[in-house]
Amino acid sequence: MNVTELLIKKKGFTLLELLVVMSVIGILLGISTISYSTAQARARDARRKGDLKYLQDAAEQYFSVCGYSYPYTTGTIPTAIFCTNPSVAVAPTVPKDPNATGYICTACSSSEYRICVALEQDATSYCVQNQQ
């Protein structure tokens, strides 16, 4: 058998070639997993900020329509925000934190409120408060 016949009959990959390809695939999977989890944390933080803006808008609407007081008391936000006189559903459903915990209202009374949430990506807090 000469060299050309050996090269033609050779089928398959060497062990070294397989290891190199598997290593490259492993590195790419590791990078994509890290990027995916970072993107998920950013998305949850964006949702938290949007939820707090919604709660702020609902509180300001409640303040204007329902007798110049805010619907929050210190502690957990209610599951819905209704005005009794006049009968108005300001926020029929109140969003929850993406980690399934409710948002907490600190320093809340009929004349003021402050709602904060911890962000995952920045390790900081994001807060909204009364505008009146």
Annotated domain spans of the chain:
16-129
Tell me: pLDDT of 119 over 70.
yes
Question: Could you tell me if 61 and 90 are in contact, meaning their C-beta atoms sit under 8 angstroms apart?
Answer: yes
Q: Which helix (H) or strand (E) holds 111?
A: none
Report in angstroms the alpha-carbon separations of 73 from 48, 78, 81, 112.
20, 9, 12, 9
What pTM, to 2 d.p., does this model score? 0.75
In this prediction, residue 56 carries a pLDDT of: 94
Q: What is the mean pLDDT of the chain?
A: 87
